[in-house]
Amino acid sequence: MAFGAACLFGIGAARADEAFITEQTSDAVSVLDLAAKTVVARIKIDGKPAGIAMSRDGKSAFVTSPEGKYVSVIDTAARKVLRRISLPDAPLGIAADPAGRFICVAGFYQPRLYKIDPASGAILATVAVGASPSGVAFTPDGKLIATADRDDDQISIIDAASFIRVGAVKVGAHPFGVTIDAAGARAYTANVEGNDVSVVDLASQKLIGTIAVGKRPYAVALAKGRGFTSDQYGGTVSIFDVDSLRPMQRISVGDYPEGIETSADGASVYVANWFSNEIWAIDAETLKVTAKMAVGDGPRAFGTFLRETH
């Protein structure tokens, strides 16, 4: 199947001014000015780029190329690739350590999680996880990492310091994106074959709830006490209440929504529509669509793709 999902974690900045959008079909990353609502730069990335992680300071973006078996390190201000980091497996999900010390990349086939020094490109450690790891997320304090192990219907929980897997929790059918809340307490998985979201308590390593959403949810964003899923086959964003774990409503968006992320101030949710080549903005409070922005061919925006510029 085609790669696409999202792995998300809170980035803690004031707000997002740019979106770095991986465009798998056109082998590029587009830089989208969210105020001007237009693409202001394009960066060539070969190997069908899919996943992306933004450093917390917004100075670097890390992009996975599943067909190229490498990660590209981008200087976001200069709009250029600084280096490529080769991997022994097809990289898919990716997340950046909140303290900026390393990145974590999911090798889809082996399956392993790789701990990488982005400056040298050295693989610092690896750990075995479940089958077909897809999304990757850190707790905001950087102490734990979660992977969505698609073909084992579970998440793996890894201690970031020791890089040892300390738990695994069964979730719904084929989890793809995994998101951890701002408190570092709960992980949310988008289960593409179950048409639902699983909620895991990280401290107890227990499944605490399941919420029905639209068809083939790929990723979850969190804002204003609500969860938002990108429902690929449904062409919708489903919204649920994070306290009651009950569905609220659905919003029609573009064709095949996949990547989804909340602005750091929590005001807006941005969703990438793979087939219609657009990024849509949703007001997280009113749940109204506020913008539709054209990008290049095949936007996946699979991960943390928002950057504050001031």
Contacts of 10 (CB under 8 A, 6+ apart): 140, 180, 181, 182, 264
Nearest to 269 by CA among 248, 254, 285: 285
What per-residue confidence (pLDDT) applies to 176? 98
User: One digit per residue, pLDDT tens: the chain, 310 residues?
Assistant: 333 333 333 333 334 599 999 999 999 999 999 999 999 999 999 999 999 999 999 999 999 999 999 999 999 999 999 999 999 999 999 999 999 999 999 999 999 999 999 999 999 999 999 999 999 999 999 999 999 999 999 999 999 999 999 999 999 999 999 999 999 999 999 999 999 999 999 999 999 999 999 999 999 999 999 999 999 999 999 999 999 999 999 999 999 999 999 998 999 999 999 999 999 999 999 999 999 999 999 999 999 999 998 7
To the question of pTM greater than 0.85 for the whole model, the response is yes
DSSP state, residue 121: -
Q: How buried is residue 225: exposed, middle or buried, by Cβ count under 10 Å (0-12/13-18/19+)?
A: exposed
What per-residue confidence (pLDDT) applies to 16? 57
CB 302 within 8 A of CB 4: yes
What per-residue confidence (pLDDT) applies to 2? 39
Nearest to 168 by CA among 142, 138, 196, 131: 131
d(CA 261, CA 295): 16
Question: What residues pair up with 23 in beta bridges, in sequence order?
Answer: 28, 299
Give the end-to-end CA distance of the chain in Å, rounded to a whole number.
39
Nearest to 158 by CA among 121, 193, 132, 187: 187
**CB atoms < 10 A from the CB of 11, how many?**
23
